[in-house]
Amino acid sequence: IPGSVEIGEDLYFDGDFEVLKHHLKSDNSAYGQVKFFLGYSGWTKEQLDSEIVCNSWLVGHSSCRSLILARDDSFWNHVVERLGHPYSTWINYPKNPEMN
């Protein structure tokens, strides 16, 4: 899709939404290859890199296909289980932090 940014092997972010809509309406070539996310996160220049260096984030690896096919909380559970102990306890945390 024009204007998209490659963020991983066969994984892209953003791009021309009108072109994507055309593909989705005209044929099934994008079926199983597109996933929409709603929300917003923003960082200043190099802020995310700095946070990663300071270990504020856990960075994991997953295939593009598994990201696209993920449908529910089972994906989160699977990824956290792969991180092993002590992170496996995160699976039991409530979605709402106020319930913790």
Do 5 and 29 reside in the same domain of the chain?
A: yes
Q: How confident is the model at residue 100 (pLDDT cuts 50, 70, 90)?
A: low
- pLDDT tens-digit profile of 8-38? 888 888 999 999 888 888 877 777 788 888 8
Is residue 63 situated within a structural domain? no
CA atoms within 13 A on the CB side of 81: 6
Instruction: Tell me: pLDDT of 96 over 80.
Output: no
Is residue 90 situated within a structural domain? yes
Q: Map tokens 């989705």 to a residue.
A: 24
Do 3 and 23 reside in the same domain of the chain?
A: yes
Segments forming the whole domain that contains residue 53: 1-58
Predicted TM-score (pTM) of the model is: 0.58
| Tokens encoding 27 | 């044929």
Instruction: Tell me: pLDDT of 2 over 90.
Output: yes
